[in-house]
Amino acid sequence: MTEFELIYRYFKAQDTEGASIEHTAIIKDLGDDAAVVAINAPSQWLTCVDTLVQGRHFSEDWQQVSELAFAIGYKAVAVNVSDIVAMGAKPHSILLALALPERLANETWLGEFAKGLFHACKQFGVRLIGGDTTRNDKLIISITANGILPVAIQPVYRSGAKVGDKIYVSGTIGDASYALNYPETEVGKQLAHRLHMPTPRSILGQKLASIGLATAMMDVSDGLVQDLGHLCQQSQVAMSLQLDQLPTSKPLQQVELAERLRCQLTGGDDYELVFTLPASVQLSQDLLSSVSTPVTCIGEVIELQQVQPVGNTNFGSSAIELTYQGTAVTEQAPYPFDGFPNLHGYQHFSS
Ligand SMILES: Nc1ncnc2c1ncn2[C@@H]1O[C@H](COP(=O)(O)OP(=O)(O)OP(=O)(O)O)[C@@H](O)[C@H]1O
Ligand SMILES: Cc1ncc(C[n+]2csc(CCOP(=O)(O)O)c2C)c(N)n1
Ligand SMILES: [Mg+2]
């Protein structure tokens, strides 16, 4: 199979079923030097890119890479959709840059990968409009995602959290991390789908932006505390998190408390949304009509003791106070931990 046969065979023919009205703006997709999208002036165009690397974002092991072809295609789309909806926008289209090992350039692997990719595209209403294919020793998938938002709706940034706001998280957290760390356990197996095929909270993110009440929002990719640290830094606030309120899936409830909390606080890979709302807002079923994802209040925004410099990489843990059943979790009294936990989340580089 040549490079061009590969592109046309696996990525050119997209199911048009489920294409949205906004997709009519795609004038040219795969096949030319660039995709062409008509700009509808009263809309805002959002764009982001995320890369998945073999051995870093999914297993190094070729057997696993083969078995997980569908899930890898799905997850590559899902993590990008997650960033778009974390701004409150509607996902529109993606570009796929693929560095493909020769051993995967075959019908079995590419067929499954493309199936997973297009399954996610259909589920989240995005069209593949272009990309790039190269050969490499390891599999690297880089996806650029685009989203749209009417000008009348404000994107929800990380920078708007205010003292007194309540902090909410969608779904449950810690599942993906547990599945990654304990894949052979019964609980790990029950949670494997949360690691391999995360669900971006598309409807919730868009709804929160459209009702215009969320003061800040982001998705949890690197770990709750580290990611909330970014939100604190950009909003110049601190946060108090109630550990007994963290939403926990049925399988994860079986895990020993301290280990479970470590996964929930630092694990990452959850792709849940965290957001802040003024305390006066009651998150009623009415307000979140059409949203099936549960949301849970996990704490509140408090005053920052001292202004933090932008480059302070330890900001995350220092701006976030933990309480358990009303009592502060500290170095001196770390219960329910034996010792105060390391709250760093996932980092590609750390010194
Ligand atoms: N190499 C780079 N060049 C330019 N901007 C970058 C680069 N790497 C990251 N950024 C920008 O820095 C910000 C934080 O990037 P990061 O990858 O941590 O995003 P995230 O949403 O927090 O995490 P995730 O990648 O898991 O979605 C984003 O606005 C991103 O566009
Ligand atoms: C084999 C393997 N090792 C580790 C992890 C965990 N992991 C990798 S990257 C990342 C943060 C998000 O990435 P980024 O910040 O690059 O978007 C996390 C939590 C995994 N999923 N698979
Ligand atoms: Mg993000």
For 165-206, what is each residue's pLDDT tens digit?
Answer: 999 999 999 999 999 999 999 999 999 999 999 999 999 999
Q: Has 132 been labeled as part of a binding site? A: yes
Q: All domains of the chain, ordered by start, with CATH?
A: 7-150 (3.30.1330.10), 166-328 (3.90.650.10)
> Is 59 close to ligand 2, i.e. is its CB under 6 Å away?
yes
Q: So what's the ipTM on this one?
A: 0.92
Compute the mean pLDDT over every residue in the chain, rounded to the nearest whole number.
93
> pLDDT confidence of 351, banded at 50, 70, 90?
low
pLDDT score recorded for residue 313:
55
- In terms of DSSP bridges, do strands 327-328 and 320-324 run parallel, antiparallel, or are they unpaired? antiparallel
Ligand 3 centroid–CA 83 distance in Å is 5
CA distances to 17, 74, 169, 185 from 248, rounded to whole Å, are 36, 24, 11, 17
Ion ligand 3: residue ranges with CB closer than 5 A: 83, 219
For 295-348, what is each residue's pLDDT tens digit?
Answer: 999 999 999 987 666 556 566 678 999 999 999 999 999 999 999 999 999 988
For 53-95, what is each residue's pLDDT tens digit?
Answer: 999 999 999 999 999 999 999 999 999 999 999 999 999 999 9
Atom of ligand 2 nearest to the CA of 223: 19
CA atoms within 13 A of residue 124's CA, in its CB half-sphere: 37
- 188/181 Cα distance (integer angstroms): 8
Report the share of the chain in percent with pLDDT over 70: 97
Nearest by Cα to 226 from 296, 314, 328, 157: 314
